[in-house]
């Protein structure tokens, strides 16, 4: 069986650090072309635009999108119009309407699509799913705090309208929580801290409830120290499981547990290959919907200007 010929749109930090290594380590894929306005990806043909790649590049079966969410909708539409399978980095679009439209367009195109909530593929998430079976969950506590200057240096788009600010990393935590808790989650309150010179929040505190009335409390901070805190605690009547380092580490009642050695992005691309083989799609919108609801119901406090 021939590998899936893959094109990549956008070659920034996340593509260089995560996507390309995962693609090249997976024999189910062959990276054949990259569309980028920045540095070129070595070892493949590089093009200045997706349109140029599709018109003049090598044949591709699928395209992965690593551009900022603003403007991504039209690019994914180009790929779907060309009949390509699509993998779309999180958040898939800058609005719910665009993302909802892509779900319909993927189906109409008869291709496979993946909204790439990569944190769902953290090794400890599978442990958590297994642990929750037969247990009565009472509360979920989330602390997701990192330093934007370290993880998004020079990326002004993240502070613009549609850039999500602290919800860019915070949505990773929400993608895990929505994967673990069945049914819909509802934002009951949100407090958003927005720098005086930005359009998007630098911190947020959320209160969420599940259909089963489980309380989810989340604290997000984008101006934390260099020591990241990516933690989710699952409190049940039978004990407590904690996911640390974004789900890479797991403990139950303080006792460390073993997890898979496969990383998030390799597992995500393995999932994408299986979706293509099965002619299926995975286009969940609940993490983005929770962020949208947080903006909708949230109180906003103006805080000191952000300077890199």
User: Tens digit of pLDDT for each residue in 252-279?
Assistant: 999 999 999 999 999 999 999 999 999 9
Number of structural domains the chain divides into = 2
Residue 188, domain extent: 122-260+291-303
Residues 187, 249, single domain; the answer is: yes
Residue 169 belongs to a domain: yes
CATH number at 86 reads: 3.40.50.720
Decide: residue 76, CB within 10 A, 0-12 exposed, 13-18 middle, 19+ buried.
buried
Residues 171, 276, single domain; the answer is: no
Question: 233: closest CA among 146, 142, 170, 125?
Answer: 142
Instruction: Decide if pLDDT at 38 tops 90.
Output: no
Residues 142, 185, single domain; the answer is: yes
Joined together, the tokens standing for residue 282 give: 């995975």
**Residue 119 confidence (pLDDT):** 97
Active site residues: 90
Between CA 156 and CA 144 the distance in angstroms is 21
**Residue 161 confidence (pLDDT):** 87
CB atoms near residue 91 (< 10 Å): 27
**Residue 163 confidence (pLDDT):** 85
Between CA 69 and CA 49 the distance in angstroms is 16
Residue with tokens 């892509």: 102
Residues 296, 165, single domain; the answer is: yes
Residues 158, 217, single domain; the answer is: yes
Residues 137, 251, single domain; the answer is: yes
Q: What is the mean pLDDT of the chain?
A: 95
3-state secondary structure 76-119: HHHHHHCCCEEEEECCCCCCHHHHHHHHHHHHHHCCCEEEECHH
Instruction: Decide if pLDDT at 153 tops 90.
Output: no
Give residue 171's Cα distance to chain centre: 7
CATH number at 190 reads: 3.30.360.10
Instruction: Decide if pLDDT at 53 tops 90.
Output: yes
pLDDT band at residue 32 under the 50/70/90 scheme? very high
Residues 126, 216, single domain; the answer is: yes
Residues 107, 146, single domain; the answer is: no
Residues 158, 295, single domain; the answer is: yes
Residue 308 belongs to a domain: no
Residues 190, 279, single domain; the answer is: no
Per residue in 156-201, pLDDT (tens digit) is: 889 998 889 999 999 999 999 999 999 999 999 999 999 999 999 9
Residue 27 belongs to a domain: yes
**Residue 273 confidence (pLDDT):** 98
**Residue 49 confidence (pLDDT):** 96
Between CA 109 and CA 83 the distance in angstroms is 6
Residues 218, 82, single domain; the answer is: no
**Residue 239 confidence (pLDDT):** 94
Residues 239, 227, single domain; the answer is: yes
């Amino acid at each position: 069986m021939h590998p899936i010929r893959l094109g990549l749109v956008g070659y920034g930090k996340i593509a260089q650090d995560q996507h390309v290594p995962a693609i090249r380590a997976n024999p189910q894929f062959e990276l054949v072309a990259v569309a980028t306005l920045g540095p070129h990806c070595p070892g493949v043909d590089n093009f200045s635009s997706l349109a140029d790649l599709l018109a003049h590049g090598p044949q591709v079966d699928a395209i992965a999108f690593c551009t900022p969410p603003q403007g991504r909708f039209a690019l994914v539409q180009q790929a779907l119009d060309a009949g390509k399978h699509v993998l779309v980095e999180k958040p898939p679009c800058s609005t719910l309407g665009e993302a909802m439209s892509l779900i319909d367009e993927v189906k109409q195109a008869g291709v496979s699509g993946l909204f790439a909530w990569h944190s769902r593929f953290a090794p400890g998430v599978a442990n958590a799913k297994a642990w929750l079976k037969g247990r009565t969950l009472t509360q979920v506590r989330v602390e997701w705090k990192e330093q934007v200057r370290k993880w998004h240096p020079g990326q002004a788009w993240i502070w613009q309208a549609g850039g999500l600010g602290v919800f860019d990393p915070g949505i990773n935590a929400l993608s895990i929580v929505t994967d673990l808790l069945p049914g819909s989650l509802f934002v009951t309150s949100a407090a958003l801290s927005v720098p005086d010179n930005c359009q998007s929040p630098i911190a947020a505190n959320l209160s969420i409830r599940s259909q089963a009335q489980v309380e989810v409390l989340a604290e997000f901070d984008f101006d934390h120290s260099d020591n990241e805190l990516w933690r989710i605690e699952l409190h049940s009547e039978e004990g407590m499981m904690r996911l640390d380092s974004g789900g890479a580490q797991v403990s139950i009642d303080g006792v460390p547990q073993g997890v898979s050695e496969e990383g998030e992005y390799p597992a995500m691309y393995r999932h994408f290959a299986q979706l293509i083989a099965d002619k299926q799609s995975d286009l969940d919108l609940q993490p983005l919907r929770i962020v949208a609801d947080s903006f909708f119901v949230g109180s906003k406090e103006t805080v000191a200007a952000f300077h890199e």
